[in-house]
Structure 1
Amino acid sequence: MSNNNAGAPSRPSAVQSVDRAISVLEVLAHAGQAGVTEIAAELGVHKSTAFRLVSALEARELVEQDSDRGKYRLGLGILRLAGATTARLDVVQEARPKARTLAIETGETVNIAVLSEGAALYLDQVAGSSSVQSSHNWVGQRIPLHATSNGKTLLSGLTDDQIRRETGRKLAAYTPKTVTDHTTLLAEVAEVRADGYSVVSDELEIGLTAVAAPLRNAHGDVVASLSVSGPTFRFDADKVDAARKHVVAAAEEISARLGWRLSPGSA
């Protein structure tokens, strides 16, 4: 009987390689620097195996070689990965006190989201007095960019070409109100850029309305989105307008804490 997978690496082998590569990083983190022979001894593998692992990590700039001593150390790629995590933690840390105040002011659920692999990744959530019992926990979930106020706010920091790449070729319909064509989506995102906030009702699920505004860093880049969400029946025109003012003000205050300065002509 023929084996169609002949020659292909087995899944356990691939997982073992990942585990060993992580072990290399841990060895270097502990030792500071180490040669291939030392790494092989720590991992209990042949020197050639250690060299292949180190070479793969070096190609991704996760490790680098000391040209004088020939030993390896952690590379700049590690700093980039750590920096991305630190930046997200900074956003949550700076935003949480204001998010609590915003939840009290509006009585609704407050969420903080970032762009992540073609979706809005929810990092933090604070429930308001009106939503304590019924609020869905979004933390850790990835939500469609084209069907949410947080998503459209995050997209407002991108170019049109970047938006098309992030959202993919097909925009899925979640309700009859979901935007499913890029032309309409790009037009709506352009409005978000101009207005400084996004309002979405019943696009991800019927009965859910949310208002979001961008969180910016010192360079003015949109690094996250802050939103207030609740049942559509509670969000009449007056409630949406009040929530919008609170969200925009809170987002500007948080952005200031992240280093952004509102230009005089943009207020």
Structure 2
Amino acid sequence: MPLRNDRDVDGETEAGPQGGVQSVDRALAVLEILARDGDAGVSSIALEMNIHKSTASRLLASLVNRELVHQDSERGKYRLGFGILRLASSIPGRLSLVREARPVLEGLAEKFKETVNLAVLRSDYAVNLDQAMGPSTLATYDWVGSLTPLHATSSGKVLLATLPPDERERLLTETGLPARTPRTITDRAELERQLIKVARDGYGIVKEEFEIGSNAVAVPIVSHLDLVIAAISISGPAFRFDPEAMPELVEELRQAGRRISTRMGHADA
């Protein structure tokens, strides 16, 4: 298929009235690609969007200037920037959630010496709003702002398990169950069985399903309306972190989820 030029279907250039709308649409498409893939280069973005490489470069440069996109200085690829979080934080509910959860996250990270994350459901992904790292944590990756697949993460499974069946059906049909590792659950029936267990037990576990060498466990955070609004997780290296063998950690995490829920107004937390 030949590449389109910089004119839209009405023949307007990007500088014209229709072109302005087209540029916004294309910029949003770039953000969606980066949210889905984690990072991408100019060429791959241009190819997927069926636009010239120069057009993709201009779009990325504009997004970088707004801090919505960040370019890796070593690899040259682009990923979502902290400007995305700045926009998300303008939503009062999420601002309150991060503020109320922060001391609990820090306490868990200090006690268990592992990485603790706070995630919410956004655009069919689990997006990490905040993170606390223990003093001896081996991992150094900052997950704040990262969009992760629901079916392959502990927070994602907790968020999925509480969705109405029709909404979960729509979401999983649209996103599919792509394999992140050889251990990722890609069978729909098996995933549904796991989600039933998550809903019953009140926590979700993944073992090297998102990343080889990394395990995690998550619990829900409930609002004053008795709705699950977020999940809090603890993750660590698989060689030392096995949530199924650490019932005291799981119980501590559940208590932490209840404390944050209480801070968010949940009367029965």
TM-score, scaled relative to structure 2: 0.67
- Residue 139 of structure 1 aligns with an amino acid whose one-letter code is V
Query: 2:97 pairs with 86, 91, 99, which one?
Result: 91
- Matched residue, 1:205: 211
Q: Distance in 1 between the 2:9 and 2:221 partners?
A: 51
In structure 2, distance between residues paired with 1:186 and 1:84: 34
Partner of 2:10: 7
Aligned residues: 200
CA contact (8 A) 1:228 1:243 kept: no
Does the Cα contact within 8 Å between 2:217 and 2:234 map onto a contact in 1?
Answer: yes
Report how far residue 144 of structure 1 moved: 0.3
5+ residue gaps in structure 1? 21-80
Which secondary structure does the structure 2 equivalent of 1:223 belong to? strand
Task: Provide runs of 4+ in structure 1 moved above 3 Å.
Answer: 3-6, 8-20, 81-84, 236-240
**Equivalences for 1:35-50 in 2 at 5 Å?**
none
Aligned residue for 1:160?
165
Percent identity between the two aligned chains: 38
TM-score by length of 1: 0.68
Cα separation, 2, equivalents of 1:100 and 1:211:
16
Counterpart for residue 68 of structure 1:
none
Instruction: Tell me the equivalent position of 2:250.
Output: 244
**Cα distance change of structure 1 residues 10 and 186 upon mapping to structure 2, 3 Å threshold:** farther
For residues 211-250 of structure 1, the aligned pairs below 5 Å read 211-236=217-242, 240-250=246-256
Unaligned runs of 5+ in 2: 25-86
Structure 1 residues 110 and 10: alpha-carbon distance in aligned structure 2, compared to 1, 3 A threshold: same
Contact 1:113 1:122 in 2 (8 A): yes
AA paired with 2:200? A
Q: Note the C-alpha offset of 1:191.
A: 1.1
Query: 2:246 aligns to what SS in structure 1?
Result: helix
In structure 2, the CA distance between the partners of 1:237 and 1:181, relative to structure 1 (3 Å rule), is closer
> For 1:119 and 1:171, how far apart are their aligned partners in 2?
12
Q: Provide Cα deviations, 1:186-207, integer angstroms capped at 9, x if missing partner.
A: 2211111111111111001111
Residue 228 of structure 1 aligns to a residue whose secondary structure is strand
